Structures are given as structure tokens and as C-alpha cells.
Amino acid sequence: MSSEAAGWTGHVMWWQVYPLGFVGAEVRPEDGREARPGGEGGGGEVQPGGKGGEVQHRLGRIEGWLEHVIGLGLNGLALGPVFAASTHGYDTVDHFTIDPRLGDLDDFDRLVGAARERGIRVLLDGVFNHVGRAHPLFRHVEEHGPDSPHAELFRIDWNGWRSGQPVPAEVFEGHDALVALDHDSPAVAELVTEVMLHWLGRGIDGWRLDAAYAVPPAFWARVLPRVREQYPEAWFSGEVIHGAGAELVRESTVDSLTQYELWQAIWHGIADRNLFELAHGLERHDALLDSFVPSTFVGNHDVTRIASAVGDGFVGHALAVLFTVAGVPSVYAGDEFGWHGVKEERIGGDDAVRPVFPDSPPTEEDLPGAGARILHEHRQLIELRRRHPWLHTAHTEAVEVANEKLVFRSVGGDGEGGILTALNLSDEPQRVPVPGDAVVAAGSGRREGDAVVVPEREWAVVSYE
């Protein structure tokens, strides 16, 4: 990682948005769906957009939430797909055009400008493993076969092919609509480099590299240094869903990888009342820090929302882990209100976790059930993270582990600071021995002599700096 990127990524915390869902865009032709915030009451109907190529100027709706981002204590806006696509955004048809269901370049520039005015960094979702089957370059290949100058962009076995037959291109993970790019081709490296430079030039700060696990590391190693020559402060986080690896970071030169292994350990450990699994996950997470700082989360656009995964009463436990261990953390928009949504393996199975948002953020008084408490827990823990910036690269070790109790200690890489995080999933209060100068910095807990007592089904963060 360049020194310029390291200078700001140690302090950034992202608010992740799936734009097409957020603004209520139709993601499947004539789907007629209704999306409601959190999938449980409230909200309104999705308004169809982008029909007939008509531009729908909807990105301004995200701009209306930037003060909410600041109010949470966050300073980064991580946008899902914004480029022209056929359906869900990951089937790109033009990397240089804003999806007309969202708006146009002027709308995008206003959003980036509004974020900049508030000190908010902007991250874009780069879908560079594949394109949509309707992409004009692939259409040209379908029309002209191997004689097309664009045929080198794709993985195609022309052996036995005859004119008029479907082009036998490889696709991404069996999805016929997603045509795989050929990452051995210099033309693909040129295209991706050009796209990255174009949008960095329009003011963004970095890229989430979608499906980075499916792309040869050598490809990123060819492209990213060229991009950093012009934008040394740019940051690149690769999506890896089967665990993060130091070898991949070294070979690819990416700055970070998504930490799905920790995410799984958090929600499984809490939901299954097996905090040994979480302790093991923390140990493996800590080992990564010798190579890179992972991108951490407890929710995103591809997974069941954390409140549905662990229950309203235990969202704070998950957040306490997220914000007191090393990483570049992100909050999936809506999780801070305790919204629910279950991902299902079917067509439309993502809709519940990608809902339309209201025009403005709800107030605490508007939030039903545990929503107000969950919002408070987010603000409290984000503020704590801000007060302890060394947590970005903190080393963590478990102090006490049981099925329903976990206490772990986080300290700075140079011994700076000191925090104990205690999770109590049981129906009984739990005593946690603490140093004499320790104070409860977040959550629930009271000092009793040389210990902090954490109430039943609660959590506490204790600072002893």
C-alpha cells in the first residue's frame, strides 16, 4: 500500500450502499416488485426506471443521506454498481456511463462533490471479472465471430464453432448472462486500467474489486501499479468469499481483502451460542495483520442482514467485535436501524436485503422495536473507534472463552492502548476481571471491585489506556 493511501485508510469507515435498490430502480424487467425498508413494514413501492433508455435522476436521493453518514460518525461512502447494466448492476454494458436508472454523469459528479464537501471518501464497485452478455463489445463478437477485433477480450473456445452458432464463451459461475473476460489478454488490462483511471479522475478514492477471487492475481499485479502511478493515494479492496489470504495480497498487490471468514465467525458464534468459533476466527484474523489490513463487516448487499442473522438483541454484540478489532470496517446501509432481510437462493432472493430507502433517514422516534437501541449502539461504537485510531491495526487475543461468554483484548501494534471486549450471551450476569484504571467505554457493565459485571445477554467494551 502506498503511503498516501495508508494515510487515510487508517481512519476511514464506510457506509455501504447498493444504489439500484436504494433508489428504487427496477432490477428485473417488468418485475413489479415492492421493496420495503428492512423487508418488515414501512417504505414504499419501487418506481420503475430506465425504461426505453430514459434517464432517471435518482442519485440525489443518496446525497440526501450524507448528513446521516456524518451523524453516525462514518466518513466513507462505498457504492455498489453504478455503471450502465441490464439488471442487477453486475452485468455491466458500459463502464463509462452511469446507469440511466440512477442518473447521469452530472448526477454522479454532484454526489461525489457533496461527499467531498463533507469529508466523505467515495469507493466504487469495479466489476472487472465479467461483463453482461448485452455489452456492445460482446455483441460485436456474436455478430462477427473470431474476426471481431474484440474477440480477444473474452475466454472463447472457437474450436468447432461455425457462423450462426452461439459464441462458446466462458461465463461466471454458471450465470449465462455474465460473460467472463480473458485476463491474459493485454486488451483487458488496458480496458480495466482506463476505467479505473477515468473514475479516479472524477474524484473517487478507490475500488472494491468484485469477484477478485476469480481473477488471476497476476492480472491485478499488471493493472494496479499502473493506476497507482497516477493516483498513488488510491485504495483497492478485493472481494474474496472463501477466506482472505496473505499470498493473494502479495501476488496481486491489492491493499485489502474482504474478511468473510470473520463475518461468518461473528454471526455463527453468536447465533449458535458457540463463541469458541468466534475466538478461533479472531485468532485467524489476527494472523492476517502481518500482511495486510482486512476489510471487515457484519453485513453487506450479498448476505442476510445481521439483525435477522443473530436477532435484534445481539446486534450490539456483533458490532462490538467489528469495531474493536483490526480492519477497515463498513456498515451496510440500513443495518444501523435494525432492518431485517433474509437472503434466499432464488431469483429475487436478494430483494429483501437490497430495499428501497425512504427520502430521508428515520428519527429514533420513528424506529420500531429495537431499532433505536441498535442505532445508538452503532453511534457509540463508531465514536469509540474514532477515539482509538490504533484499533485499525490492533492485535487481538482471547482472554476467556466459553460457549456463551467471550472476553478478548485488543492492543496497538506498538503496545499502544488497551481495550477489553466482553460478550455475554447467557441468561446470567458475567464477571470480567479488569485493570484498576479500567472504565466501561461502551455497552452495559458496572464496576464491582476488580471486575466489570456484564448483565445477562449484554456486552461491554472496557478501556484501560
Task: Please give the average per-residue pLDDT across 297-303, as a whole number.
Answer: 97
Instruction: Tell me what pLDDT residue 39 has.
Output: 35
Q: Name, in order, each residue with C-beta under 8 angstroms of 1's C-beta and a sequence gap of 6 or more.
A: 9, 235, 255, 292
Contacts 24+ apart (CB under 8 A), 445-448: none
* Type of residue numbered 47: Q
The domain made up of 402-463 has a fold known as Immunoglobulin-like (2.60.40)
Task: Please give the average per-residue pLDDT across 83-110, as a whole number.
Answer: 98
Q: Which pTM was predicted?
A: 0.94
Instruction: Tell me what pLDDT residue 356 has.
Output: 97
Using a pLDDT cut of 90, give the percent of the chain over it: 87
Instruction: Tell me what pLDDT residue 5 has.
Output: 58
Residue ranges per structural domain of the chain:
3-129+183-393, 402-463
Measured at the CA of 165, the angle between CA 159 and CA 171, to 5 degrees, comes to 70
Measured at the CA of 68, the angle between CA 62 and CA 71, to 5 degrees, comes to 155
Residue 172 near residue 203, CB atoms below 8 Å: no
Average pLDDT, the chain: 92
Task: Read off the pLDDT band of 364 (50, 70, 90).
Answer: confident
* Cβ atoms within 10 Å, residue 118: 12
Task: Please give the average per-residue pLDDT across 226-238, as a whole number.
Answer: 97
Q: Name, in order, each residue with C-beta under 8 angstroms of 11's C-beta and a sequence gap of 6 or more.
A: 75, 389, 392
pLDDT in tens, 431-455: 999 998 899 999 999 999 999 999 9
Task: Please give the average per-residue pLDDT across 88-104, as a whole number.
Answer: 98
Instruction: Tell me what pLDDT residue 1 has.
Output: 67
Task: Please give the average per-residue pLDDT across 277-289, as a whole number.
Answer: 97
pLDDT in tens, 27-55: 986 544 333 333 333 333 333 334 556 89
Instruction: Tell me what pLDDT residue 123 has.
Output: 98
DSSP states along 172-235 = ETTEEEEEEB-TT-HHHHHHHHHHHHHHHTTT--EEEETTGGGS-HHHHHHHHHHHHHH-TT-E
d(Cα 132, Cα 154) in Å, to the nearest integer? Answer: 12
Strands of 212-302, DSSP E: 235-238, 256-257, 295-297
**Length of the chain as a residue count:** 465
Strands of 357-445, DSSP E: 395-402, 405-411, 419-424, 430-433, 439-443
d(Cα 40, Cα 35) in Å, to the nearest integer? Answer: 10
Of the candidates 368, 300, 296, 310, the one whose C-alpha atom is nearest the C-alpha of residue 337 is 368
* Cβ atoms within 10 Å, residue 214: 16
Between 12 and 465, the higher pLDDT residue = 12
Instruction: Tell me what pLDDT residue 28 has.
Output: 82
Could you give the 3-state DSSP secondary structure of residue 397?
strand
Q: Which uninterrupted H or E stretch holds 117? A: helix 105-117
The domain made up of 3-129+183-393 has a fold known as TIM Barrel (3.20.20)
Task: Read off the pLDDT band of 208 (50, 70, 90).
Answer: very high
